[in-house]
Chain A
Amino acid sequence: MKRTLEVLNALEKEGVFSRYAIGGAMGATFYTEPVLTFDLDVFVLLRQSSAGLISLSPIYEALRTRGYGEEKETVPVEGIPVQFLPAYNSLIEEAVAQAREIDYEGVPTRIARAEHLIAICLQTGRDKDRARVAMLREQTRLDLDSLADVLKRHQLEDKWKLWTE
């Protein structure tokens, strides 16, 4: 995964996207026991085109020039299928902006905060998101003030109550 992260860092440095953070199951695994996943979900803040459109095409093009072609909805980068997800709403934008900086075997990278991962799960609302919220609650020391703030600002308090009471 180290080399995959190096490629992501290079793309960010070159301005292909302005910032990235790991989310999804692998983001959650940073805080919990390891969970099965086959993709590395990466949230990206993209630059808008002159026409105001947001597209993943520049990322795919930049990766293609490095020899990494798309396979279905992912791009295998150094043996790991990366699923790029544009920051499609204010919650994801915030999760990327405030992601934790970590060191992965000497390579810097970012992981979405546990409080944001919970909020994203609540917003997405699938059965597996519910299970992930339960796991994060059980196995992570959450910043409850920060969580309350995120849930309030993104209108997720009712869903949180529904899932946790």
Chain B
Amino acid sequence: METVDGVGAEVARIFAAKEQRRRDLARLPFPEKVRAVIQLQKMAATILRTRGKIVRPWEPARARR
């Protein structure tokens, strides 16, 4: 991947940073991860809707009775 202009080194640095980010996310408290999953669901739902697939993101707050 190394090139004379140093692009390979930059890409390697980006990949390493991405790995570190994933490890940092893995260390989050579980409730924060659950909130992140709900955000992922909202993002995915928008994309899936354009493909005709209807999914429903979790709505734990709304469900309070």
Residues of A within 8 A of B (CB): 1-4, 26, 29-38, 78-81, 102, 104-105, 138-140
A22 CB → nearest B CB, Å: 10
**Which label, helix, strand, loop or mixed, suits the secondary structure of the B interface?**
helix
Residues of B within 8 A of A (CB): 22-23, 25-26, 28, 30-31, 33-34, 36-37, 40-41, 44, 55-64
How many residue-residue contacts, CB under 8 A, span A and B?
Answer: 66
**Which label, helix, strand, loop or mixed, suits the secondary structure of the A interface?**
loop
Q: How far is the CA of A102 from the CA of B29 in the complex (A)?
A: 11
Verify B60–A34 contact, CB threshold 8 A: no
A153 CB → nearest B CB, Å: 28
Contacts of A36 in B (CB 8 A): 37, 40-41, 44
A133 CB → nearest B CB, Å: 15
